[in-house]
Structures are given as C-alpha cells and as structure tokens.
Structure 1
C-alpha cells in the first residue's frame, strides 16, 4: 500500500537529525524512517529528482515519449513519501561519478572519481552542519570524517551507518583472494590508498554509535578497535509487496540463481567451480549483474552459465521468481540486499557468514564457509535432489523475510535514534 506523503516538518525536527549520503544505497528508507519518527531536520544527498521542479516539468515537454523514458530513469532517485522540502542536494560530483561509471572509456577512473565525490560531499556536509547545528548527524562509511570532526566540536551526536564490513578486514580478504585467484584479481578493489583506509578507520572511532547491519560487520568493527557498546544492530529490509514468491514452477529445469556484481568479492569463482564440478542434468546457472574488471576469469566458464547484465531494479524480481535456489558465496559484505529479496521471493539460500544475511542455517537455507567449493556442491546437490526440502525452505524463507521489511527497519532505526537522543539529553 502506498503511504501518504508527508509534507510538513515536525516541530521536533527543527533541530533534529541530519542524514547525509552522496548517492543512494538504502538511504531513502533511512530518511523516511527519520521523517516518520519526526526527527528529520534534512536529508543531504547528491542528485535527487523532484518531479514538480523545473527538470521534471521540462522532461514532460520532450516529444516522442522521450521525456517519459528519461523520467522513469530519474525516478530511481526519488521517493514519493519523502517531503521534498526536507531534501538538500549537492549534485555536481555525483553526476560526474554516474557518467564515469556508465561510459566505458571512463570506467577505469570511476573508483577514483567515487572517492573524490565522497571527499567533496563530506566537506559540503561539514559546512552545513556548522551552520545548521543539528542534534545528531547520520553519515555513511567513507564520507563522514570531516563532518564528524566538525560535529564533535559542536556537541552533535555522530552516528555512522557502516554499510559494509570494516575496510581493513575487507582488504585483507580481498588481497588474499587476488593471490589465490589471479585470473579474477582485476575484479577486486585491492589498490586502496592509505588515506582512505585511515579515513574509514577514523570514522568508526569518531562515531558515538555505529549502525551494524549484521554480525559479520559487528565482528569486523570490534576487530578494528570499535567498542562493542557503541555498536547497534540494524538489519536492512525488503519490500514484501514487490518481492513475492512467483507462481509454482512447472518447468523441469533446476535453476540456480546469483544476483549481484560478477566479481571475486562475491565469491563468483567458487560458485562457478561448484556448478561445473556437479554436472547436474537439467540444471541451469543464471548470473544476473554486471561484470567487474575485464571478465577474463569468466571466459573458461562461459558455456556453463547464462549471463543477464543490466537488469533494471524494477524488473529484477522476475529473475527470483524463475529460480529454485539462490546462491551467494560472498567474501565481504554488509548485509546483502539481494539475499533479503531472494528470501521474500521464497528461495532457499546458500550463502556464507560474510554475506551478513539473516538466513538461519538449516531453516531457510544453508550457511557454508567462505572459499569452500565442496560445501557449496554438497548443499546445491541436496536441494537439487530434494524437492520437498526446497518447498519447506521456501515457505520458511518467506516467513523470515516478513520479519525484515523496510517498515520494520524504519521502526528499529527510529527507536535507536530516539534512545540515543534521550540518553544524550
């Protein structure tokens, strides 16, 4: 059901919480959570589409339906429930990054441009915080250091949303992986400047509270010096209306699905090896997502899988509906949104502890160690051979997803922040 948009500021939010994210991720849900709780002073972001502003009106004037097509794309940067006057934008750096990530000649530079974007955005937010003096500020890892340094001097509560495991934990794993599998090394972001490592480490240490979406993230923070008492658990969510079990499948093909970037951070080679070694009759492996790096590591497996690149977010749920099992053998995550979506679509899951999922081992699927091809094979084969087990895990998967909707996420976040502000006084 569509919620009625909120168009007025709660008086409590006049000096409330500022939320800052240079891109998107799940930050629209975070902003909406603060708005629902009456805490949102403003949401600062890079580019945000407002249908009723001059850009929206100009798009509707374009001929031959071109405006409709462009507006559909822009609406990916829009949440109708958010009061537009609560949104402030710093679009230049974000638009440069988006262009670099989409134009093939510029893609080799996109990672450096992303880091530049985050630094620029952090500086902009820090200046706004000094003027607006909120009670609290919520920022995301890799773009919060200057903001937190300024906020601390004002007595503003600093909350870090740690969307992925700590950078030092991730780098250790990914550098090991590059040595283990040099054919996939160019899909791994291992060349990280020291200043970025220091920035991310300092952000976690400066924060009064760090929001952790999973036990994997929590453990990585503690391993890198963050006191457990400053970490608050906040799992992500899913839209249970959009992601639902499809009609019962009648085709005989057993379909294994992966959705995400085709990179070795996601453990893609381990899945390919497991599937190749099994050689299951009437089975298909479908990989949905863009290729990271050159893709040369995928070439030896090219006859083993169907690759579906560039699926719009509005259509990805159709691929979940066509699958029997979802496999996500990731090495380093926060809490993979694709797993929440697969659960909501009633898919048994095979994943790793490092994916940060809400899957309970043996109930909605299986948790296997990272880099373990044999355990992947074992669990894929078990589900391939046992239709009743798949059906029971499918039922349990949907029930589990219903515990982790975006509405539940918003309630949990509102509660955490209200308690933090009450404790601060």
Structure 2
C-alpha cells in the first residue's frame, strides 16, 4: 500500500509524513515552504528575496528523519499570504483560503496514482477528486471543528464580548462550502478528539467506523518538570488572545476571584479587534506577545495552574506542554486535549465563568492538591508524544490494509 500526503501548512503533517515513511507507506508528500537541504534554484532565489524574519521561520520548516526525496514544495501560494500588503488589501481570511485553493489546484495537476490519498482540510478538494478518479481511497485530515459547531460557538463568543460578528460566521461563504464538498469526497476522516468525531457523525451522517480519532502529540524533550516555588499564585494562558480561545471568560473569572498574591499572565498575539475587550481589564494581567520556547518552559514551571477555556479547540498541544511541566490544567469541554477530570486538572463547561473561578480558587486554596495533580498530569501526558501519534497513525493504516478498506470500503470500529 502506498500513500500520497498533501497539506499547504506544517501543522502535524510533518509528523504524519514521518509516520508513513517509517511504515514504508509514503509515496509523496506535497507541502508549501520546506527547508530542503538541497533546494531547487527557485527556492534559493526565494530565500534570498525574503525578509530576514520570514526567512528564519521558513528555515524551521523541516522534520528530522524525513527524507527529502519524498517532498515536493509548492511555495508560491503561501507568498500571497506572507506579503503584508496583500492580506491588508483583500483581507487575511480571504487570502488564506485563496492560498489553500491555489495549492490544491497545483497538487491536483500532479500524478496522483496511489492506493490512498491523505489530504488536509481546506486544501484538498481538487486533489481528492483527482485521486478518486485514479482509484484511490481518500482520507481527510480534519484539524478543526465541524463548521456548524465552529459557527455556533464563535458567534456566542463574539456576542459575549460585544464585538461585531464576522461575516464568515453569519453565512456560508465559498471557503465553508469547499469544506462540505471535501466531506463528500472523503472515504475516511482523521480527527484529534472524540467530540469532533461525534459532530461528524451528527452533521454529516458519517459512520462512526469511518472516523479515526488520532490525538496529536508534543515534544517531551523540550518540556519537563522543574522545582516549583510559588510566592505568587500565577494563572497562565498561552495561545491567541482572542475570542476563540475564550480569553474573555478567563479575564472575568480572574476579576471575580478577589484574593491576594495572585496574577494572570497571557502569552500570545492579540487577535485583531480584541483590544477593546482587553482594555476593560487593563491592569489586571500581564501580556507577552511571544516568547522563545526555552522561556515558555520557564513560564510553565513558574505557574501554579494553566488555563485554556477555548470555545473552539480541536486539540490544544499547549495543554500537553503545560502538563509535561508538572502543573495542573483547567480546560473547557471543547478542548480536544483534556486532563482526567479531578485527577490531572479540571474540565469545565465552555463559557462558564463561575466554574472557571471555582476551580482556580480550589487550586489556589489547596497547595497539596496542586502538587498531586501536577505530578499526575506529568505522568499522564507521556501517552501523548509525537512518537505515540506516529504509532497511532501507523496502526490506523495497518488496520485499513488488513480489513481491505481499499477494495470494500467497509470499516469495523477502530479505536486508536
């Protein structure tokens, strides 16, 4: 069995490619920018022309152990998104989806004869159609919530924040319609959480047996525990500071705590248009737009609790990283990566300010509980490394082959 993999961005695609290569299944990997050791002339010229900050980001686009002979880089579509003037003129959302479409069309022009075509959501419609005509089974790697769920939760978030609801949440545009067409072309779907699986069963009438739950991973060599000495109870959030991550509810919960020796730290870029919300809580939190990874580890180890109250969160790798550093976590029920509730931390209902406040206060008042939960979290998260992710991908494909999915397209229940 051989597999062609395609994704316009990095995400977890590099790990997927490595998993397929390790299993002897990878035939070709189509992607955008990739830091090839022996780049073609066109990429050499591009590297010289790019600004230094962007060049540094691109040079991090590589995966140790992944053989370059499998990789084809179509980087032009991403240039549209990276040149600052273009998104400002036409809108970042529109340009992002134009990038996806152009990349997809470029891949669809290639020889896609394979046993399985594995494409990522939003950038695989034309290629999936082409691969199906060549007789391939199609796998859609769905890295986000179902559109119906995303619209529901995000609209609630914008209304709670008293911000204008974006047009793309009020009606189905071409990007959303494209997603639905991709669903129709998929024989199987890979998702990161049980919630997303159940949503696809509910809205798309997919058989549960056709949906593979494959949680993502993290790098345990970079995130480790360190001695904890808390003179101040620090509540830490890491992610985009905006509507989707539920920052409003964390700010309001923190405001209601009214206890001494406590601080809130937000790390991440601020979503465009979210500044008026933050202004209402000025002076109540510290904010760092971005920090180096070694500094992030230090922030985790200096925190008493990590909180991710997202409205829409397909997985939440940052939760793994926090747990690996030995601190308890509080996440919303909409986060794909969750602690064992009451053991490694807490899972609270989305948009529930009082529940957030109560769980933060419980940990604030109980140092021994924090210690036990942090230790438990560090052990539990060892099952969510990239090595485990690759093994789950390989296991899924082994079962696909064993059960003759390519011929019968009949699937028995698979728990990955």
**1:114-193 aligned within 5 A:** 114-128=96-110, 131-183=111-163, 185=165, 190=169, 193=172
Range 28-37 or range 314-323, more displaced = 314-323
Does the CA-based 8 Å contact 2:249-2:353 persist in structure 1?
yes
1:419 aligns with 2:399: yes
State which of 272, 280, 284 in structure 1 corresponds to 2:259: 280
**1:92-131 aligned within 5 A:** 92-100=76-84, 106=88, 109-128=91-110, 131=111
1:118, distance to aligned residue in structure 2 (A):
0.6
Count residues in correspondence: 400
Q: Please name the residue that 1:79 is paired with.
A: 63
CA 313–201 in structure 1, closer or farther in 2 if over 3 Å, else same = farther
> C-alpha separation between the residues in 2 aligned to 1:184 and 1:367?
29
State which of 379, 404, 408 in structure 2 corresponds to 1:399: 379
Does the CA-based 8 Å contact 1:184-1:297 persist in structure 2?
no
Q: Please name the residue that 1:6 is paired with.
A: none
Q: Please name the residue that 2:282 is paired with.
A: 302
> C-alpha separation between the residues in 1 aligned to 2:268 and 2:86?
16
Query: Per the alignment, in what secondary structure is the counterpart of residue 42 of structure 1?
Result: strand
1:51, distance to aligned residue in structure 2 (A):
3.4
Q: Please name the residue that 1:224 is paired with.
A: 203
> C-alpha separation between the residues in 1 aligned to 2:325 and 2:371?
12
1:183, distance to aligned residue in structure 2 (A):
3.5
Q: Please name the residue that 2:353 is paired with.
A: 373
> C-alpha separation between the residues in 2 aligned to 1:43 and 1:169?
30
Does the CA-based 8 Å contact 2:104-2:127 persist in structure 1?
yes
1:90 aligns with 2:70: no
Does the CA-based 8 Å contact 2:112-2:131 persist in structure 1?
no
Q: Please name the residue that 2:413 is paired with.
A: none
CA 149–49 in structure 1, closer or farther in 2 if over 3 Å, else same = same
Query: Per the alignment, in what secondary structure is the counterpart of residue 316 of structure 1?
Result: helix
> C-alpha separation between the residues in 2 aligned to 1:372 and 1:232?
30
CA 190–196 in structure 1, closer or farther in 2 if over 3 Å, else same = same
Report the aligned-residue RMSD: 2.5
Query: Per the alignment, in what secondary structure is the counterpart of residue 415 of structure 1?
Result: helix
**Structure 1: tracts of 5 or more residues without a match:** 1-11
Task: Give structure 1 regions of 4+ aligned residues with deviation exceeding 6 angstroms.
Answer: 54-59
CA 125–71 in structure 1, closer or farther in 2 if over 3 Å, else same = closer
State which of 226, 234, 256 in structure 1 corresponds to 2:235: 256
> C-alpha separation between the residues in 2 aligned to 1:95 and 1:208?
32
Q: Please name the residue that 1:30 is paired with.
A: 16
1:335 aligns with 2:315: yes
Q: Please name the residue that 1:353 is paired with.
A: 333
1:185, distance to aligned residue in structure 2 (A):
4.8
Query: Per the alignment, in what secondary structure is the counterpart of residue 23 of structure 1?
Result: coil
Query: Per the alignment, in what secondary structure is the counterpart of residue 265 of structure 1?
Result: coil
Query: Per the alignment, in what secondary structure is the counterpart of residue 92 of structure 2?
Result: helix
> C-alpha separation between the residues in 2 aligned to 1:56 and 1:318?
40
CA 56–340 in structure 1, closer or farther in 2 if over 3 Å, else same = farther
CA 377–189 in structure 1, closer or farther in 2 if over 3 Å, else same = farther
Does the CA-based 8 Å contact 2:332-2:348 persist in structure 1?
yes
